[in-house]
Structure 1
Amino acid sequence: MFCRILRRPGVLLNQASARSLNRAIFTRSYPFLHGGPSIDKKTAQKITVNWLYHDGKTRPVSAYVGQTLLQVAHAHKIELEGACEGVCACSTCHTIFTDPVYDSLPYPSEDEEDMLDLAYGLEPTSRLGCQVTLTEEMDGVEVRIPQATRNFYVDGHVPQPH
């Protein structure tokens, strides 16, 4: 019903966007309401993630296996927005990988592909940071941050890690 209302004349949402919005609102368990997955930092393996900025600078940070790239970015104050708080309902945590790394990742879900269609500067190896969970094999991975995003925040809001 919610999607039918959004598809009425005068409401600017195509069917794919309405479907994604419907899924995001009605079928998700929001991590920020439940604290997200718990990672035991005493026993979890640490790896390094190298963030590549569009100006050529690289920033290596430590992360735990099991975290998402969005969680790592927020924990280290990396400028990766994540307006939806990691529930795959926006494209502001858009990241770009090299071909070998992209090929080693699990396939993106249909929801993620729908959101990636909205991402600014989409590339063949683009993924959403909230949907990429770190594994042991990703130690030393290079993650490129796009030059710009479709910003959904207003009034200068800066995301804070939970």
Structure 2
Amino acid sequence: MAWRVRAMQADDLDAVTFNEQAAYPFPWSRGIFEDCLQFGYPSWVAESENGDIAGHAVMTLAVGEGHILNVCAHPHFQGMGLGRCLLNTLVDHAEGEAAQRMFLEVRASNHAAIQLYRSAGFEEVGVRRGYYPDDDGREDAVVLCRELKTPVAY
């Protein structure tokens, strides 16, 4: 499937929040996404061929590093390359902003996401104990990092 990726806008937040709630047991709130837009965090949505917002992604950039905060594909669109498309968008943007590396946290139980990130060159660099809320208390996060292409200095 072909995805159209574009910058997230305030008008997208109903669909973004809907997708987030459909995909995750502990979703981000609409307010978190509003804050991300207000603070200028690079944020995207991916539209399906019929124009539905199928997924979204949010990151930060600072001091040569990108930090992936959220990558979400509505369950209906999972397994169709949407997560990879959004991840590639984040990496391309970070490289375009001369970031040297990217980090992210992912639930230790999210094996599909971990496999996606590893296939994209991310490597485990640590674990954050009890990072995520879980039905049974807290769940660990696996911390992943990818070195990016270093721009040529002239």
**Bigger radius of gyration among the two:** 1
Larger RCO (alpha carbons 8 Å, 6+ apart): 1
Q: Does the pair score TM above 0.5?
A: no
More strand, by proportion: 2
Structure 1 length-normalised TM: 0.29
Q: When the two structures are superposed, what TM-score results if normalisation uses the length of structure 2?
A: 0.30
